[in-house]
Chain A
Amino acid sequence: DGGITQSPKYLFRKEGQNVTLSCEQNLNHDAMYWYRQDPGQGLRLIYYSQIVNDFQKGDIAEGYSVSREKKESFPLTVTSAQKNPTAFYLCASKTGTTSTDTQYFGPGTRLTVL
């Protein structure tokens, strides 16, 4: 079954800790994305990657970091510099950079800071 998996589904973090959210896809997509979702705020772009070993900052990259060492994997690290990390995090991918391509989403990870 092709798709996007995110793990864990729920994640709890103590203040001052870094945590890494996993995103894996077996759709052979080149482009991958990380979004943050807060109630009433829609989806805001954190980072995106259009090709392996390359990525760009989105609108709210401060306090986050990513890597893209493999085509199928795009992990997101939430660092201690992110002041308000409690949110729902969504990973997405699509075939390429064409504007008509559909983005496919994973099931999300809910991060809570204790």
Chain B
Amino acid sequence: AQSVTQLGSHVSVSEGALVLLRCNYSSSVPPYLFWYVQYPNQGLQLLLKYTTGATLVKGINGFEAEFKKSETSFHLTKPSAHMSDAAEYFCAVSDPGGSQGNLIFGKGTKLSVKP
């Protein structure tokens, strides 16, 4: 069975600092990987996803993530944090061989940005 672990339920960075949000997966085959962002009291918005091809994926708002099969990781990064990046971030996986294409979500990481 697949699972997703997001290390750190809360991460705090200063404005302009590097953002690093960690995601590790457990799966018998490499899954498809997604990062979503959720602003308070809103739905989720896709930041980026990895399915096949280049392992470094660029998304919206300056975020990117790199799929590392050897480390079973898909960490999300942004070189310079902005106050508007404060939100909750969710990593999710889906099974490439699955017939339903359902997502399994991590528990989320809440990002705070200090001025």
Interface residues of A (CB under 8 A from B): 4, 6, 31, 33, 40-45, 48, 50, 56, 58, 88, 90, 92, 94, 96-108, 110
- The reply to whether A102 and B46 form a contact with Cβ atoms under 8 Å apart is yes
User: Provided the pairs A42-B90, A108-B42, A110-B41 are in contact, do residues A103 and B103 lie with their beta carbons within 8 angstroms?
Assistant: yes
User: Provided the pairs A42-B108, A99-B95 are in contact, do residues A108 and B101 lie with their beta carbons within 8 angstroms?
Assistant: no
Per a CB cutoff under 8 Å, which of B32, B102, B108 touches A100?
A: B32
Count B interface residues, CB 8 Å: 27
Interface residues of B (CB under 8 A from A): 9, 32, 34, 36, 41-46, 49, 51, 90, 94-103, 105-108
- The reply to whether B105 and A40 form a contact with Cβ atoms under 8 Å apart is no
User: Which residues on the A side are within 8 Å of B97 (C-beta)?
Assistant: 99
* Chain B minimum-CB-distance residue to A44: B105
Q: Would you give the shortest CB distance from A44 to chain B, in whole angstroms?
A: 8
Kindly list 10 other residue pairs between chains A and B, CB separation below 8 angstroms, not including A98-B101, A104-B46, A106-B43.
A40-B107, A42-B105, A48-B100, A92-B43, A96-B101, A97-B100, A99-B32, A99-B95, A100-B32, A100-B51
Q: Would you give the shortest CB distance from A39 to chain B, in whole angstroms?
A: 9
User: Which residues on the A side are within 8 Å of B98 (C-beta)?
Assistant: 99
- The reply to whether A105 and B94 form a contact with Cβ atoms under 8 Å apart is no
A-B contact pairs, 26 of them (CB 8 A): A40-B108, A41-B107, A42-B105, A42-B107, A42-B108, A43-B44, A43-B90, A44-B105, A48-B100, A58-B102, A90-B43, A92-B43, A92-B44, A97-B101, A98-B101, A99-B32, A99-B97, A99-B98, A99-B101, A100-B94, A100-B101, A102-B34, A104-B46, A107-B42, A108-B42, A110-B41
User: Which residues on the A side are within 8 Å of B49 (C-beta)?
Assistant: 100, 102
* Chain A minimum-CB-distance residue to B6: A42
- The reply to whether B107 and A105 form a contact with Cβ atoms under 8 Å apart is no
How far is B95's CA from A112's CA once the two chains are assembled, in angstroms?
34
- The reply to whether A90 and B101 form a contact with Cβ atoms under 8 Å apart is no
- The reply to whether B43 and A107 form a contact with Cβ atoms under 8 Å apart is yes
Per a CB cutoff under 8 Å, which of B36, B43, B51, B90 touches A108?
A: B43
